[in-house]
Structure 1
Amino acid sequence: MDNDKQALATNELTTIPLDHNWYQKLASNFEIIQPYLDKLDTDELGLNDLKDKFDDLSDKINVYETNMQAIVNILSDYDVPIAIVDGKVVNTTEEGE
């Protein structure tokens, strides 16, 4: 794909009659657009890699949350005054006790 930016013929395509010049401008538009479509078709954008990374991160977050809940449950069994509130471990004793 060229690094040179090519402009699409847009307003010029509405002229009548639909002569050979119109056809050439339309064909030129498709020549400019085609490399971008090819790039999308071959997944050069790395969308699959991005999805895999997101899924991996989601799995790690789930493991972290599960482990944190297990720790809080164990400490609660030993009367440690903590709980998970809004995703954070907090002390459940009120001030002044």
Structure 2
Amino acid sequence: MAIQLVTDQLSNVLDDKFRSQFVGNFKAIEKALNDLYTAQNTLNSDQDKINQSLKDIDYGLESIKVDNKNRDENIEAIVNILSDYDVPVAIVDGKVVDTTKEGE
């Protein structure tokens, strides 16, 4: 939205028209500044929400990493226990595999 201020059209005579044009300019500037202030507050609020969302996502990713680490540790512990009882399993490339050979 363009704001049209009265500039070179101001009267050379200090009269009511000059005063109203001058006051009108200040009102237009005041409205534009208030609109900018409102827009800035909205942008700041939106940015805060985005930053919080990013923190929440980062926390969620960290939680997933911890869960995956715990799961891997638990699987490794189970495979070790099974191996102690001569169950033919091992972890190969992150997967639990049967270590019996074909034909046995």
Residue correspondences, number: 65
Q: Provide the aligned C-alpha RMSD in A.
A: 2.2
- Measured at CA, do residues 77 and 36 of structure 1 come closer, stay the same or move farther in structure 2, by a change above 3 Å? farther
The structure 2 residue matched to 1:54, chosen from 49, 52, 61, is 61
- Measured at CA, do residues 36 and 61 of structure 1 come closer, stay the same or move farther in structure 2, by a change above 3 Å? farther
Dislocated runs of 4+, deviation >4 Å? 33-37
> Unmatched 5+ residue regions in structure 1?
1-30
Structure 1 length-normalised TM:
0.58
Matches within 5 A, 1:38-77: 38=44, 39-40=46-47, 42=48, 44-45=49-50, 46-77=53-84
Structure 2 length-normalised TM:
0.54
Higher helix share: 2
Percent identity of equivalent pairs: 47
Distance 1:76 1:65 in 2: 16
Structure whose alpha-carbon radius of gyration is higher: 2
> Unmatched 5+ residue regions in structure 2?
1-35
